[in-house]
Structure 1
Amino acid sequence: MKAVIFKETGKYAVVEKPVPEIKKANELLVKVEACSICGSDMHILSDPPGYPAKPGTTIGHEMVGTIVGMGSEVTAFAVGDRIVCDNNIPCGQCYYCRSGHANMCEHVRCLGVNGDGFFAQYALIPDTSAYAISPDLPLDIAIFAEPLNCVMGAMDKLRMIPGETVVVVGAGPIGLYFIQLLKKNGAGTVIAAEPSEFRRRMAKEVGADIVVSPAEAEKLPQIAAVGADIVVDAVGICIKDALDWVRSSGRVLLFGQNFARTQEICQSVITRKELTVTGSYIGSYSWHDTIRLLEHDPMQLEKMITHRLTLEDFAVGYDAMKDGSALEVILYPNGGRC
């Protein structure tokens, strides 16, 4: 089969690999119908890397697939079932796994990072990581399950009060999910701060009330007078702006990640303003809610897809993500819509 691997720092390759074989009783062999390029994949391929990965690993962690084979002890699924997958596989034994915080697992295995992921025609996953999804849900909606699940986990931490003003820093795919979910949860005013004109237009289309460049944000009356009730950093390098733009006793949610970047802040700002600063890392027990949302409560997701490509054309999608002309790049490893 064809697969895209992380070769070495800053480099990938489209290669031929053997179709994986079921070796454990709880494994599923999945035919990958669609997979998508995430910002985390771009961080893996950056130089220096913004996210660590193991050389030789098939990258990619967002997918929709069909089960084509199963281990002898699988009982919750059948061949032909359509599934999405949680690529983060906790050990189930460490303190965090046993205290209800499996997303903090000390020994987590991440498919697409240190285990083979989904930029391939077939993938092998444990049945505990699979979630059934309706066969009637369009493929180009189902593909959003994994990243949307992560944002759903963050929304659960926010516990937003209807009518609050929220600034979302960054209008890439993650920021656009936040904008839509914040409006669904009753946000009074959602402000998107984004340097790219292309992404600002998309933020407006999916529901942001006010869209500005970061340089203009601090001049807005909603921020200059008092500050926003909540600021969400969907980029991973904007904590200083978040601390400046949030009101006293407000909340800052840090979501984006970039291990290659650091920021300098004045801790006294947090103390003096009595801020609540919360980190959110992947989704935690929010998969069923996410799938229910996708199946029953339409969102503006398909319009975010800018590229539909074959696996062999991965370079086209990678370059578009790198130069900022793409939002969502969907790959179809086994053919289908392109």
Structure 2
Amino acid sequence: MGSWPSWDCSASSCNGWPNPWGSAMKAAVLYGKEDVRIETVPDPTPGPGEVVIRVRAATTCGTDLKVWRRGGHARMLTPPILFGHEAAGEIVALGAGVTGWQVGDRVVANNSAPCGQCFYCQRQAFSLCPHLEFNNGTFAEYLKLPASIVRQNLLPIPESLPFALAALTEPLACVLHGVARSGFDPAMVATWPSPPQIVVLGDGAIGLMFVGVLAQQGARVLAFGGSNQRLAIATTFGAEQTINHHQCGDIPAVVKDWTEGRGADIVIEATGVPEVWETAIACGRPGATINLFGGCPRETTIRVDTERLHYEELTLKGVFHNTPSFVRQALQLIASGTLPFEKLISGQAPLMEIETVLQAMKARQVIKVALQP
């Protein structure tokens, strides 16, 4: 597919927009399995409490790839629908009643917001809110943000932070939520005889983010993946050891060797493949927590050894999405510059090339691409 242009979306090169807000825009519309089309659709108009932003960078995600390949998503969207869920940009219009924001503000928004009132929200389990309002359509020139997102999950971007990096806020928030739900606490590093040994299965952007966050907090991380290039990035993110699964016949055996025969304290599954879920469970030691983070296709099942589950007191956790507090923590971590998140963005491309980008992701030629409408 040719070489990708160098990634350069600095604040100085991306400020301002060349054209005024018009009456129609270009947007990617998902129609079904591997069927996404660039169409001309009406510009969004903000209602009460809503905001419209000019998209400056919309990053592609492994979830987008799965949705494109599968033709939909169990929770977030049903085709035909505007596509994409990670973006950063500038405010171009404010709905009635919006305060605290003005046209021209550099912002990033999460792709959802909880209701704040239901049984789960009252118990701070915001990712389980049955009324989560999802917002798709970032692969477009403009994006309308619902009032609930404006109230809870719209954040200002520091002037020094490139739009493409800010757009990583949503997936990183999911990872921070996943780390917390795995039972990992940096205090373990100081109080345990040795730091927790954690296995990450998957070398996509999510898996690499898990490696970075966990290693930064002092965990020992063993990362498995299928790309030597991506595993090299895992090393720069702090992985103690990386292994290409294509060159490894028995992953649980390798993990046991790494952990003196026990198995990992925590295992993160970040591929969304049922067989890998089973591998993840096999990698855990007695008392381990297995974070089944990667979402599998609908109506798939796995086999679980009930004897191990019971007598070894394993904890199996399905972890989904994020919460408003983790959205804020994610943006702060990105802005701090302590982890090289720019390594996850393989390049940039115009919106019209979204089909080519998705094909490149399918072939694992790129990790994430910053689409620029």
TM-score, normalised relative to structure 2: 0.83
The residue number in structure 2 matching 1:58 is: 82
The residue number in structure 1 matching 2:92 is: 68
Distance of 1:118 and 1:136 partners within structure 2: 22
CA apart distance, 1:298: 2.2
Structure 1, unmatched stretches of 5+, are: 334-338
Provide the aligned C-alpha RMSD in A: 1.8
Tell me if structure 2 keeps the 8 A contact 1:218–1:224: no
Q: Does 1:269 align with 2:312?
A: no
The residue number in structure 1 matching 2:64 is: 41
Residues 48, 142 of structure 1: alpha-carbon distance in 2 compared, 3 angstrom cutoff = closer
Pick the aligned partner of 1:249 from 287, 295, 300: 287
Distance of 2:71 and 2:46 partners within structure 1: 35
The residue number in structure 1 matching 2:228 is: 197
Residues 49, 26 of structure 1: alpha-carbon distance in 2 compared, 3 angstrom cutoff = closer
Q: Does 1:231 align with 2:267?
A: yes
The residue number in structure 1 matching 2:8 is: none
CA apart distance, 1:48: 6.1
What does 1:156-235 correspond to in 2, within 5 Å? 156-157=180-181, 158-160=183-185, 161-162=188-189, 163-187=195-219, 189-214=220-245, 215-220=249-254, 221-223=257-259, 225-235=261-271
Give the share of equivalent positions with the same residue, in percent.
29
- Structure 1 stretches of 4+ moved >4 Å: 48-52
CA apart distance, 1:36: 1.1
CA apart distance, 1:175: 0.5
Corresponding residue SS for 2:209: helix
Corresponding residue SS for 1:281: coil
Q: Which moved more, 1:93-102 or 1:174-183?
A: 93-102
Deviations 1:41-80 (A, max 9, x none): 1121124656563222111110111111111211122221
Q: Which moved more, 1:67-76 or 1:132-141?
A: 132-141
Deviations 1:75-106 (A, max 9, x none): 12222111111111333333223332221111
Tell me if structure 1 keeps the 8 A contact 2:201–2:223: yes
Residues 177, 109 of structure 1: alpha-carbon distance in 2 compared, 3 angstrom cutoff = same
1:100 is aligned with what amino acid? Q
Distance of 1:175 and 1:293 partners within structure 2: 17
Corresponding residue SS for 2:93: strand
Structure 2, unmatched stretches of 5+, are: 1-24, 190-194
Pick the aligned partner of 1:130 from 125, 133, 154: 154
Tell me if structure 2 keeps the 8 A contact 1:309–1:331: yes
CA apart distance, 1:123: 0.7
Distance of 2:260 and 2:279 partners within structure 1: 13
Distance of 1:71 and 1:47 partners within structure 2: 35
Deviations 1:219-243 (A, max 9, x none): 3322461111111111123221122
CA apart distance, 1:207: 2.0
2:144 is aligned with what amino acid? L
1:56 is aligned with what amino acid? P
Tell me if structure 2 keeps the 8 A contact 1:59–1:111: no
Tell me if structure 1 keeps the 8 A contact 2:72–2:78: no
Pick the aligned partner of 1:153 from 177, 188, 191: 177
Tell me if structure 2 keeps the 8 A contact 1:51–1:258: no
Corresponding residue SS for 1:120: coil
2:34 is aligned with what amino acid? G
1:191 is aligned with what amino acid? L
Corresponding residue SS for 2:120: helix
1:167 is aligned with what amino acid? V
Pick the aligned partner of 1:292 from 332, 350, 367: 332
1:172 is aligned with what amino acid? G
The residue number in structure 2 matching 1:258 is: 296
Residues 264, 151 of structure 1: alpha-carbon distance in 2 compared, 3 angstrom cutoff = same
Distance of 1:50 and 1:28 partners within structure 2: 25
Distance of 1:10 and 1:313 partners within structure 2: 14
Distance of 1:99 and 1:146 partners within structure 2: 22
Tell me if structure 2 keeps the 8 A contact 1:40–1:51: no
Q: For this pair of structures, how many residues does the alignment match?
A: 327
2:328 is aligned with what amino acid? H
Q: Does 1:105 align with 2:129?
A: yes
The residue number in structure 2 matching 1:312 is: 352
Distance of 1:55 and 1:168 partners within structure 2: 32
Distance of 2:70 and 2:339 partners within structure 1: 35
Q: Does 1:119 align with 2:157?
A: no
Distance of 1:8 and 1:250 partners within structure 2: 39
Tell me if structure 1 keeps the 8 A contact 2:197–2:259: no
